[in-house]
A and B are shown apart, each in its own frame.
Chain A
């Protein structure tokens, strides 16, 4: 379609474009000036580069560890544990939420337990899990799950219960069963809730996995952080944190992609 753009519309579009540009440039400028300040003050001795490291040292240790292959192993282990615990959390919480929705009696009985487990600081469970399950990747995956799973069950179940009761009534007026109400109405209309729960969960699983790796790992970025802090290799420590940032962004982006695909 080709039609004239009025002056008013053009002005609006220009303003909008300018606004976007300012936002983008400012974001980038903050990032660059932070890197520059860090590097500069480490170089001239304003801060002790042994404790605070510097961007160039972080980059250097990153490339060294990439070359000897150890870094990819650490990243891979953490990524694998996070994704596995995330998938398990989604599975467990979907199944639990469906059971709770099907029986309001069970939901009412279980409710206080879920609330307590959800508000419990899950890092307190990690030492317990190590004793029970040993210092194995299983422990780390279960720790990752424990951080996210209770909140996830509660949010998805709440999402199920807030589905329009009249929409469900429609299924019953068409002589549908409760199972059909679940499949035709409750699940499809809860997709946005499920996706937003997934967005929260992926971050929480990463938190849980890092806690687990602090305590019970020989590999992974969490292990690398603890190890490097104990031997004062601050370059490694800061590198691990930077890598965790990148990993979190990447995982979040994957779910964002999934969300956009659903919305189309």
Chain B
């Protein structure tokens, strides 16, 4: 099977007048269609940098990125959705206007895409808040609205940059569960960056463990659960969960 996304020998450094800080060194991996990949690593190891590079916001200093077999350049248009750490819903827009912001920017706001946005809002329980302001929504609802803003563009790949880290623990579990199921239902390929191991195990098909800065791959852990109803909540209760947790924990602390 042809990978959806392929990274080959990616290198990236941050520069200041006194210092060059290598963030990513010689990183390569592939993502297959429909796969949910989680990337974990020590904090500050360059996880967010990695997503910015894949999304084309930053240019790698060395290395190549292929999407669907084509090389990605900074100016080539790719359909990659990026969900940031915070929801960044704008208070001067209603929820509907926030959700359709991407369509507006890409000049694809028409009756068909508007209907699609309405559909997603209804599907994920935000229909009643269509004309509400973001401040009227709870943290979990805001994060769902942010997800719809990304999904409505129909991305072939979704990048999630610790999208639940700004939520309190209880909301985080339920929104993680929620969004995990939404992505499975929409059959999206996704890369989730997180420092929360249990979040990674409960959501991913495969987990890449990164080393300390400069980030390179420490180990790759395929995750599979023998569950009839494979949801993040059920995974957390499964016996394999603890095994995976220990395995990844050890990999993380390997070089420490």
Contact = CB atoms under 8 A, between A and B. Distances in A.
Interface string B40-58: 0000000000000001010
B183 interface: no
A134 interface: no
What size tier do the contact residues of chain B reach?
Answer: 10 to 19
B105 interface: yes
Contacts, number: 40
Contacts of B104: 184
Interface stretch (B21-29, B83-91, B119-127): B83-91
A194 to B, nearest CB: 13
A180 B105 contact: yes
Nearest to A174: B102
A174 B55 CA distance: 10
Consensus secondary structure, chain B interface: loop
A167 interface: yes
B85 to A, nearest CB: 8
A188 interface: yes
A173 B55 contact: yes
Given A174-B153, A185-B90, A188-B92, A169 B102 contact: no
Contact of B105 (A164, A167, A171, A191): A171
18 contacts: A166-B84, A166-B86, A166-B88, A167-B88, A167-B90, A170-B84, A173-B81, A173-B82, A174-B106, A174-B149, A175-B106, A184-B90, A184-B104, A185-B90, A188-B90, A188-B92, A189-B92, A191-B92
Interface of A: 164, 166-167, 169-176, 180, 184-185, 188-189, 191
Interface of B: 55, 57, 77, 81-82, 84-86, 88, 90, 92, 101-102, 104-106, 149, 153
